[in-house]
Structure 1
Amino acid sequence: MANPPAGRTWRTTVDAARTARMLSDARHSGLSGLPGQRARTPPRPVIEESWERALRGGTRPDHDLRTGLLSLEEVERRRGASPLRHVLPVLREGLVSVADAAHHIVLVADAEGRALWREGSPAVLRKADEVGIEVGTDWREDVIGTNGVGTPAVVRRPVQVFAGEHLSHALAAFTCAGAPITDPRDGRLIGVVDVSGPLETMHPATLAWVDSVAKLAEARLRELHMTSLERLRAVAAPILPRIGGQALVVDRDGWTAAVTGMPYARRIALPKSPSEGRRWVPSLGLCSLEPLAGGWLIRVSDDPAPVTAAARIVLDLALPRHWSVTVSGSAGSWTHELSPRHAELLYLLALHRTGRSAADLAEDMFGDPGRTVTVRAELSRVRRYLGAVLEHRPYRFREDAEVEVVLPDDPRGLLPHSTAPGVARGRASAQVP
């Protein structure tokens, strides 16, 4: 999609004052909670649902945006660790010059909703400074309510939030359009890009424009990943032919570049802190790990040393967007970070230790027992790293495994993104497996 034109043709001809009144009416009626308070223009479903999530979690409209602002040192640390740093040129080229001309600013936030970069119109930047829209601001929906960063991160799709649709009073003068950026390798959220400005300068095509640039960023990440694997294959080419038995070369995140003597697997779940020597690797067993430029050479041991008796599984759901599963056994322990969908599935299996059929899980996940194909596909991916500790027919944790689930202090914070009926029931009843 081409960049929208800058200058006068960018400006929309909407009646900003009339629109602001309509949004204010919808906001007052939607947030009052009083019977009989029905707006002439009700809030859009995506906004109303966001308000409900935020208010249910205790978010207040008078929240100070500067609360919990990151230090400059922490911002720099996060910038250096974020994969978004690789696509900043794409985001700047696609957004910043037009945003500046159109009296907008661009925010780029990480997966935790922290604003790491901010550029655009100097005049709007000054207005943003007045209310606390700064680098380091926490934009999570459960912190400041409905907004163009936190809400797209929750619903995982582009969202435009107009003026009074913001829960925060401080943001009522801004209109924001945000789109999530996901890791093209596994679909994991890595950040959100947002364009914000006064209501009267917001063009109807803004949301589609921001989303198209987010997709360009994802395409660039995919290209970088493929180039990295090609380099690693070149390193592996003279090594693998000389190895007898099963071996593979993976990058630092476990993505496979080359294999020998074994079936190809797209990704291997590496130990949480891989190091040289004999290590337990999920789905492979005992292996010898050797560092390579950009990755690891993994030689699969002939020793049959699976995780056997006294396997302990810890499903950690305590922190938002930082879910993991840790498996400990006779051959050591390892930890795997979980996607939102896998965190939901493993929580449901922990609730039902006797097992769930694919139809049961489809009902738990989607309220539709017919969606078994999706459930089976996801659990096939889960079993690639959980291996023998997860059984099927029905799906369940191994009977002799000890399973512990670490929940948030506030049960309402359990997988807050999830709309799965089974998770919602567990959340409402504070059900602990």
Structure 2
Amino acid sequence: MPEHFAMMNFPEVSTDPLERARRLERIHAATLSESDEEETPRPVVAASWQRSLQARIDPNGWQPPIVFAADELEEQRDAHSLASCLPLLRRTLLDEVGECAHIMIVTDETGHILWREGHPSVCRKADDVLLSEGTRWAEETIGTNAMGTTLATGTSVQIHSAEHLVCTYHSWTCAASPIRDPETGEVIGSIDLSGPLHTMHPTLPALVAAASRLAEGELAEQMRRRHMRIVEREMPRLRPSSGESVALLSPYGRVIASEPRNLALPEGAVPRTCGEEFDAGNGRKAVLEPLTEGYLLRTYRVSGVKQRDSVLRLRFTGTWPEVELNDRSVRVGQRHAELLAALTLRPEGLNAEQLALMVHGEQGNPVTVRAELHRLRARLGNSIVRTKPYRLGVRVEADFTAVRSLLREGRPAAALERYGQGLLPGSDAPVVRAERDELLAGMRAAVLAARDPELLWRFAHTDSGRWDAEVLEQLLETLPVRDWRRAGTRTRLDRLLNDEE
């Protein structure tokens, strides 16, 4: 016998449903009046009655609350994942059983009836007792019923006649089964068949349970297709650096692809907070990066090896940024170069909010910065770019910091050699702009103070000094009268002065 059938809470089938209903009425009356009665309710019914009475449900007269108006009901239906399963459920529970006088009901996880379809005469009778769309049939709102009890217990349930706590529904019999989300395992709704006592066939409860399994299979196939689309879109990200593992996670944290394959994570190892290191078990750390749909998880083994001998070389004053790690060239884009510049200028470390402001300005988003930093860490290694706070964990040799040091030492010629075209000339990041302006001011002042024609000539051919009138004027003053460079300098200065006029 399949496991899900063995877990069903169905009563023994009686050859005379009306006689069984009379017997249940006696049990109902005796139990609620606390009189001596040999027969007692089935355990699943007794437990449900207890929960319902604790919720102050009146057995002698109670109605389910109407929660959703017609327009609100449409919104709830459109948003619910079971909407896609309706054609399958109709075929299974309505089309295949012919003219049986029953109705099919589909609820959400809290017992709201979202759909009700079936035999017209039974629908009219259901309307009389508010067994209708938009009402809520949880145990705490209407007492023991198949839908509410299956949601409360997470198992398939049949409630027959006087097993309903509220007397209004003693002429009804219902069978329901929960439907679970294949990804989370959580109950997302229930499927129910209800009808008058004499119309329900004894095989219908098993049919309801089978329909719920078919719906779960349909949801699982939809999940599989969603995961395939995520994998196709994000596959280029599954490229771990040395010593790392990378996993692509669904929006609910399920591993749907990984490198290496079959990467296993400990239970509860994936928190939803992105951008912070956490323990992934087995001596590994991990960082979660948000994607358009889902997450990218990078894990790496914690190493006790010190990085003192590693050197990160940054050449950011040329036409494009260049990065070397221990003589290994690493390709980085403009945004990663800006982050490295910020971390170099603030060696004590920064948090994501500070970096967002320094790199993106007032509109900066810390989540975006965390994602950029995790991609940078994937390129350089997690021991190179550290977290809490974000900082560089190796010795850094940067040309732009060397310029400042050389100027302090009074060596303008060596400083100009390293100055190049200025710090990341194409960047508009606030931290880069501020440092670039300070370096330019210091470099320009040192060159002008030196009054050295060779220095002035070299500075006049940088992007910063090419159209600097004071530099060009001093260059003309210091160049020898017959120096060939005077003519070109004079022409450029005249053009600059004429443009200013």
TM-score range, shorter-chain basis? 0.5 to 0.7
Q: 2-side partners of 1:16 and 1:288: how far apart? A: 58
Task: For 1:256-271, list aligned pairs within 5 A.
Answer: 256-260=255-259, 263-265=263-265
- Give the unaligned 5+ runs of structure 1: 2-11, 305-330, 333-433
> Could you say what secondary structure the match of 1:179 adopts?
strand
Task: For 1:5-404, list aligned pairs within 5 A.
Answer: 14-34=15-35, 36=36, 38=37, 41-62=39-60, 64-98=62-96, 101-241=99-239, 245-260=244-259, 263-265=263-265, 278=275, 283=280, 287=287, 289-292=289-292, 294-299=293-298
Contact 1:61 1:144 in 2 (8 A): no
> Could you say what secondary structure the match of 2:236 adopts?
coil
Instruction: Identify if the C-alpha distance between structure 1 residues 159 and 261 changes in structure 2 by more than 3 Å, giving closer, same or farther.
Output: closer
Give the alignment's TM-score, normalised by structure 2. 0.51
Contact 2:288 2:295 in 1 (8 A): no
The aligned amino acid for 2:134 is: G
> Could you say what secondary structure the match of 1:50 adopts?
helix
Instruction: Identify if the C-alpha distance between structure 1 residues 299 and 45 changes in structure 2 by more than 3 Å, giving closer, same or farther.
Output: closer
Contact 2:18 2:197 in 1 (8 A): no
| RMSD across aligned positions (CA) | 3.3
Instruction: Identify if the C-alpha distance between structure 1 residues 205 and 145 changes in structure 2 by more than 3 Å, giving closer, same or farther.
Output: same
The aligned amino acid for 1:185 is: E
Q: 2-side partners of 1:232 and 1:43: how far apart? A: 50
Larger radius of gyration: 2
Contact 1:91 1:213 in 2 (8 A): yes
Contact 2:146 2:192 in 1 (8 A): yes
Q: 2-side partners of 1:116 and 1:173: how far apart? A: 23
Instruction: Return the offset for 1:98.
Output: 4.4
Instruction: Return the offset for 1:24.
Output: 1.3
Q: 2-side partners of 1:221 and 1:167: how far apart? A: 33
Instruction: Return the offset for 1:286.
Output: 6.9
Aligned residues: 289
Contact 1:99 1:105 in 2 (8 A): no
Q: 2-side partners of 1:242 and 1:158: how far apart? A: 45
> Could you say what secondary structure the match of 1:108 adopts?
strand
What whole-Å deviation, never above 9, does each CA across 1:179-215 have from its counterpart, x for those lacking one? 1111233421111110000110111111111101111
Instruction: Return the offset for 1:248.
Output: 2.3
Instruction: Return the offset for 1:63.
Output: 5.0
Give the alignment's TM-score, normalised by structure 1. 0.59
Q: 2-side partners of 1:266 and 1:82: how far apart? A: 31
- Give the unaligned 5+ runs of structure 2: 2-12, 304-350, 353-501
Instruction: Return the offset for 1:164.
Output: 1.4
Q: 1-side partners of 2:88 and 2:279: how far apart? A: 36
> Could you say what secondary structure the match of 2:177 adopts?
strand
What whole-Å deviation, never above 9, does each CA across 1:277-311 have from its counterpart, x for those lacking one? 7356784877362424x43334469999xxxxxxx
Q: 2-side partners of 1:110 and 1:289: how far apart? A: 32
Instruction: Identify if the C-alpha distance between structure 1 residues 53 and 15 changes in structure 2 by more than 3 Å, giving closer, same or farther.
Output: same
Question: Percent same amino acid among aligned pairs?
Answer: 33
> Could you say what secondary structure the match of 1:176 adopts?
strand
Q: 1-side partners of 2:93 and 2:169: how far apart? A: 21
